[in-house]
């Protein structure tokens, strides 16, 4: 049996091992002084993955400013940890807070943790969320997958470290915007930007190489094209597929489509491949039909686009199985996106 609070499903936090870290600054010269800010990513291998440093250098060079990354989990909270933290001797975190409440702290020789948090006792409430008595600094840790590293047998996550409030805000906004995160390619890069900083009680401008995150161009264009097709379908008329279909032993209902099918569509001319035209028509179940509807809507596709992609007026006319339908729909959407890009050029 699982131990409550330790090994039960609600307490377990699935994770990959960390093979290295990407830092924004140079090594510390001495004491507690931070290293100078860099314009590129500095890779620091984990103590058990020293060989990953050579692999990283071979793949990305000595001073990379841009990296293609993937994420291991779907939500921002699973891939991005952001806190205000204070560290003591031996890099031991002695205080971790969310800006208002303590969640981890050390008193004497004991460590305490609270999900609900403990009210901060240092009484800071200025516009910068700081005060002279508060020892905490901003800390952000972004866990990413570098696919070329995995292909070279360096399996694990790389953690991007930042202490910039601007980085934390930028990354959080983009991660939330593009959830779910898995299965999508992103580009993480550094670029100089003018920011405001407090100096001797006044605001001053300073150039800083901040972190930026965006979907890779082809994923971004694909998302835009899918949204455009969906908007066009909404303007063309109401949805032709019911939002919910009650479970029944009867076959799926015929779905009328009163629009005009695209001329020259190979699926209408009988040019579809053998894999899409089985010898005997597939007998669809209610469950299969509902799964296809949910799958299409998750991709931002309207019901009318689905019927048009399959080259039919109603679902009962389609002879293929669900896998063939998905492949045909994906091929149609890609073809329409390519046509849009060609017209734009």
Residue ranges of E strands in the chain = 18-25, 37-45, 66-69, 80-87, 93-97, 101-107, 110-119, 137-144, 157-162, 186-199, 202-215
Q: Does the structure show a pLDDT above 60 at 124?
A: no
Q: Does the structure show a pLDDT above 70 at 149?
A: yes
* Number of Cα atoms under 13 Å in the Cβ half of residue 268: 13
CA distance 343 to 126: 53
CA distance 241 to 253: 10
Confidence of residue 152 (pLDDT cuts 50, 70, 90): very high
Q: Mean per-residue pLDDT for 110-138?
A: 68
Q: Among candidates 11, 41, 5, 44, which has minimal Cα distance to 24?
A: 41
Task: Specify the higher pLDDT residue, 145 or 251.
Answer: 145
Determine the pLDDT at residue 140: 93
Residues 6+ apart with CB under 8 A from 230: 300, 301, 302, 305
Confidence of residue 218 (pLDDT cuts 50, 70, 90): confident
Determine the pLDDT at residue 31: 62
Q: Mean per-residue pLDDT for 87-116?
A: 75
Q: Mean per-residue pLDDT for 320-335?
A: 81
Confidence of residue 103 (pLDDT cuts 50, 70, 90): confident
Report the chain's mean pLDDT, rounded to a whole number: 77
Q: Does the structure show a pLDDT above 70 at 262?
A: no
Determine the pLDDT at residue 89: 67
Residues 6+ apart with CB under 8 A from 77: none
> Residue ranges per domain, the chain?
18-215, 222-344
Using the CB atoms, write b or e for 143-172: b if 16+ within 10 Å: bbbbeebeebebebbbbbbbebbbbbebbb
Confidence of residue 242 (pLDDT cuts 50, 70, 90): very low
Determine the pLDDT at residue 301: 81
Confidence of residue 129 (pLDDT cuts 50, 70, 90): low
Q: Does the structure show a pLDDT above 90 at 185?
A: yes
Determine the pLDDT at residue 264: 41
Q: Tens digit of pLDDT for each residue in 21-76? A: 999 999 877 666 777 889 999 999 999 999 999 999 999 999 999 999 999 999 99
Determine the pLDDT at residue 267: 38
CA distance 301 to 141: 35
Determine the pLDDT at residue 17: 93
| 55-63 long-range Cβ contacts below 8 angstroms, 24+ apart | 55/149, 55/152, 55/154, 56/20, 56/146, 56/149, 56/154, 59/146, 59/148, 59/149, 59/152, 63/38, 63/39
Determine the pLDDT at residue 20: 96
**C-alpha distance from residue 292 to each of 3, 14, 298, 323 (Å):** 40, 30, 10, 9
Q: Mean per-residue pLDDT for 230-258?
A: 48
Determine the pLDDT at residue 251: 45
CA distance 112 to 104: 6
Task: Specify the higher pLDDT residue, 116 or 170.
Answer: 170
Q: Mean per-residue pLDDT for 76-102?
A: 80
Q: Mean per-residue pLDDT for 217-228?
A: 78
Determine the pLDDT at residue 68: 96
Q: Does the structure show a pLDDT above 70 at 280?
A: no
């Amino acid at each position: 049996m699982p131990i409550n609070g330790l090994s039960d499903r609600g307490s377990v936090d699935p994770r990959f091992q960390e093979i290295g870290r990407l830092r924004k600054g140079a090594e510390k010269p001495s004491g507690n002084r931070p290293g100078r800010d860099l314009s590129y990513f500095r890779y620091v291998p984990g103590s058990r993955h020293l060989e990953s440093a050579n692999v990283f250098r071979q793949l990305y060079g000595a001073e990379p400013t841009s990296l293609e990354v993937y994420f291991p989990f779907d939500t921002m909270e699973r891939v991005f940890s952001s806190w205000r933290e204070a560290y003591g001797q031996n890099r031991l975190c002695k205080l971790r807070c969310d800006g208002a409440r303590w969640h981890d702290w050390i008193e004497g020789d004991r460590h305490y943790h609270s999900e609900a948090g403990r009210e901060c006792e240092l009484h800071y409430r200025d516009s910068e969320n700081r005060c002279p008595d508060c020892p905490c600094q901003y800390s952000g840790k972004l866990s990413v997958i570098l696919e070329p590293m995995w292909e070279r047998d360096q399996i694990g996550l790389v953690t991007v470290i930042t202490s910039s409030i601007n980085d934390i805000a930028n990354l959080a906004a983009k991660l939330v915007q593009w959830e779910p995160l898995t299965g999508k390619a992103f580009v993480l890069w550094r670029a100089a930007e003018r920011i405001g900083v407090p100096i001797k009680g006044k605001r001053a401008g300073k150039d800083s190489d901040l972190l930026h995150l965006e979907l890779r161009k082809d994923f971004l264009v694909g998302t835009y094209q899918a949204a455009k097709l969906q908007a066009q379908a909404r303007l063309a008329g109401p949805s032709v597929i019911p939002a919910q279909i009650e479970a029944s032993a009867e076959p799926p209902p015929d779905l009328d489509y009163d629009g005009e099918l695209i001329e020259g569509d190979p699926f209408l001319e009988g040019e579809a491949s053998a894999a899409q035209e089985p010898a005997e028509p597939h007998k669809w179940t209610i469950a299969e039909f509902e799964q296809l509807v949910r799958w299409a809507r998750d991709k931002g596709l309207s019901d009318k686009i689905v019927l048009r992609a399959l080259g039919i007026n109603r679902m009962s006319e389609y002879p293929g199985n669900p896998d063939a339908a998905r492949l045909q729909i994906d091929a149609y959407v890609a073809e329409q996106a390519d046509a849009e890009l060609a017209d734009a050029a």
